[in-house]
Structure 1
Amino acid sequence: MTKLLFIEASPRKENSYSSQVANEFLESYKAANPEDEIERLPLFETELAPLGMEGANQKMENIMKLMTTGSGIEPEGEWAGVMKEIERLKSADKVLLSAPMWNYSIPYRLKHWIDLVVQVGASVMVNEKFEYIGQITDRPLQMILASGSPYENRFPLESDGTKTDFERAYLDHIFRFLGFTDIRLIRVMPTGMPGPQLDEIVANAKKEAKEAAKAF
């Protein structure tokens, strides 16, 4: 059975534009793929594993043990929580991620989750040429990102000034680091001004999401 993992990174639920569009995507996806399993991961309602002093030390111990013996440490303590989230992501055949822009970047709960699943020595390995090789491959990622202002799909420039999009570029980069190559994007923007124009922006994003879901 095909499994889709939906990572929801907004706490605003039905008031969230990214979540609204993602839910439209899911409804269309379920209609096209009624037998598929959908696992929801609402990050602001999920008790994510801690990664403090113990986990940080275990992270380095795992890397050193891999380098010296070829195998990592046992999944115990905080490291067990790290490995649980990595396995959740690895078990998904497809990934849907919805997120708003917070302070020109990502919500802190999404960063927490990323810091759990992005682990050199677990989800990313190093080859004999000291190149990073992402281990989570051969599956698509659909991102749905909402922002109050409009942004171009490129890496940030020094000339961008105070309105700089670090969100999309970072998420694209970090998932490619993990091994994803099929990364798709729907943007809901600008959402900063209420009124008929915003209603049209959200409606168009929902329409785009419904069509994208049929081919996902």
Structure 2
Amino acid sequence: MKTLLVIKSSLFNGQGQSSRLADAFVERWRGNNPDGRVLCRDLALEPVPHLSAETFRGFQADPVERTPEQHAAVAVSDSLIAELKSADELVLGLPMYNFSVPSTLKAWMDHVARAGVTFRYTESGPEGLVGDKPMYVFAARGGQYAGTDMDTQTPLIRMFFGMLGISDIRFTYAEGLALGDEQAEQARAQAVEAIERLAA
């Protein structure tokens, strides 16, 4: 039985453009995997606390020496990592806010990136411990940035998840959503066509 982890980072929950694209893919994935399991982590409904000094110290401390607050913070991180490791495939709904990823997603990333747990340092650089798996990113943007220097998201996502050991990352872009109804409808239609090809 396959497990699909869906991470939504839109401020608008399931109503966000990136969330709707992610849902469209999940619907087709369920059709191809009737016995599959879908885990959904909606970062607007269940925000992850931003990384603090106390939490970071807890990551580094021996478990027997952690304070109650550090134990609680590490438990949040452990649960997120367990979800990630349990998944056979990943979906990320990714809106662009002010040329970057949502701060809620960055908080999730900060809790998932733990040396010795999801990656380790080697002489040749970080080595991922999560294991490679297909990852589908549905990026919704008001402007048009793919393939330009203004697209800060694509290299960040590739670099971060690559550090964890995930390199099979496939992007679907819906761009120009704030450039008029005609452009937005065309972008959504093209993204849905891409989803159909991914799910085929």
Deviations 1:97-116 (A, max 9, x none): 01100010011110110000
> Partners of 1:183 and 1:153 in 2: how far apart?
16
**TM-score after normalising by structure 1:** 0.83
> Partners of 2:176 and 2:124 in 1: how far apart?
41
> Partners of 2:79 and 2:73 in 1: how far apart?
10
1:204 paired residue among 178, 184, 190 = 190
Q: Does 1:169 align with 2:155?
A: yes
1:148 paired residue among 142, 145, 153 = 142
**Structure 1 residue 130: Cα displacement:** 6.0
Residue ranges of structure 1 left out of the alignment (5+ in a row): 66-72, 157-163
The answer as to whether partners of 1:4 and 1:94 remain within 8 angstroms in 2 is yes
- Which residue number corresponds to residue 86 of structure 2? 91
Q: Does 1:46 align with 2:46?
A: yes
> Partners of 1:130 and 1:31 in 2: how far apart?
42
**Structure 1 residue 138: Cα displacement:** 2.6
The answer as to whether partners of 1:50 and 1:78 remain within 8 angstroms in 2 is no
**Structure 1 residue 13: Cα displacement:** 3.7
Residue ranges of structure 2 left out of the alignment (5+ in a row): none
Moved over 6 A (4+): none
**Structure 1 residue 140: Cα displacement:** 0.9
**TM-score after normalising by structure 2:** 0.89
**Structure 1 residue 14: Cα displacement:** 4.9
The structure whose Rg is larger is 1
The answer as to whether partners of 1:137 and 1:181 remain within 8 angstroms in 2 is no
Q: 1:40 is matched by which residue type in structure 2?
A: C
Q: How many residues align?
A: 196
> Partners of 2:102 and 2:146 in 1: how far apart?
20
**Structure 1 residue 17: Cα displacement:** 1.6
> Partners of 1:14 and 1:87 in 2: how far apart?
23
**Structure 1 segment 32-111 matched on structure 2, within 5 A:** 32-48=32-48, 51-61=51-61, 76-111=71-106
- Which residue number corresponds to residue 190 of structure 1? 176
- Which residue number corresponds to residue 68 of structure 1? none
Shifted more, 99-108 versus 166-175: the winner is: 166-175
The answer as to whether partners of 2:140 and 2:173 remain within 8 angstroms in 1 is yes
**Structure 1 residue 131: Cα displacement:** 2.7
Deviations 1:161-181 (A, max 9, x none): xxx221121111101011101
Identical positions, percent: 26
